[in-house]
């Protein structure tokens, strides 16, 4: 059960914030409960949305579907079931098919993943750990496949999910039904569960 109830979309009375919530309606089909909780301090919600927009800019160099997989691996490292569900849902909305999503934890060996994707996902998993697990070897493999600008985008995703992982696990944010409906059949047999986010 959520430790703090999310507020309605228009609760802050801040027209700018209400407008930016449309970004999530367009990309995710919902406004995440974390942002609806954050809006108690509108500046925090706005800063989070601004960071999210920068990380997932449609004109970025890294594929938006892969960025969702990067966020998923960072969230897996952090143990955030909420964000693992949200990234599963949003990966599908950005071109990642169910077969590939269901194989996410086999990325090192599954032929559905390219060497370039493997390097990014390995980096995301290590960067999402506390303490950080990125070694010179992991970084070098990443650099073998990605430009410096692309690496900045990839690490930006990991850092964005660092915020969401901490927020949602600390607040036990209730998981939306759409995210559960997509994630349970794909990852339920791989250890994913709603847990405290029910």
Q: By C-alpha distance, which of 163, 174, 145, 139 is closest to 51? A: 163
In the chain, the percentage of residues whose pLDDT exceeds 90 is 88
Model confidence band, residue 15 (pLDDT cutoffs 50, 70, 90): confident
pTM of the model: 0.95
pLDDT of residue 12: 86
In 3-state terms the chain splits into helix, strand, coil percentages (rounded to 5) of 65, 0, 35
Instruction: Convert the pLDDT of each residue in 118-164 to its tens digit.
Output: 999 999 999 999 999 999 999 999 999 999 999 999 999 999 999 99
Fold of 61-197: AhpD-like (1.20.1290)
Residue 27 has pLDDT above 90, yes or no: no
Structure tokens at 6: 């999310």
Convert the pLDDT of each residue in 77-112 to its tens digit: 999 999 999 999 999 999 999 999 999 999 999 999
């Amino acid at each position: 059960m959520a430790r703090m109830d999310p507020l309605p979309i228009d609760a802050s009375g801040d027209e700018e914030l209400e407008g930016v919530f449309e970004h999530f309606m367009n990309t995710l089909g919902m406004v995440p409960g974390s942002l609806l909780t954050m809006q108690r301090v509108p500046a925090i919600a706005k800063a989070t949305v601004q960071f999210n927009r920068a990380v997932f800019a449609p004109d970025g160099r890294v594929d938006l579907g892969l960025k969702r997989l990067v966020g998923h691996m960072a969230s897996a490292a952090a143990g955030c079931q909420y964000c693992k569900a949200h990234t599963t849902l949003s990966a599908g909305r950005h071109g990642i098919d169910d077969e590939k999503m269901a194989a996410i934890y086999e990325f090192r060996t599954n032929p559905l993943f390219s060497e370039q994707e493997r390097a990014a996902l390995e980096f995301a998993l290590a960067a999402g750990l506390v303490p950080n697990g990125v070694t010179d070897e992991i970084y070098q493999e990443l650099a073998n496949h990605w430009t410096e600008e692309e690496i900045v985008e990839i690490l930006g995703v990991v850092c964005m999910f660092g915020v969401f992982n901490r927020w949602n696990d600390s607040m036990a944010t209730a998981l939306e039904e759409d995210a559960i409906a997509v994630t349970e059949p794909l990852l339920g047999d791989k250890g994913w569960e709603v847990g405290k986010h029910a």
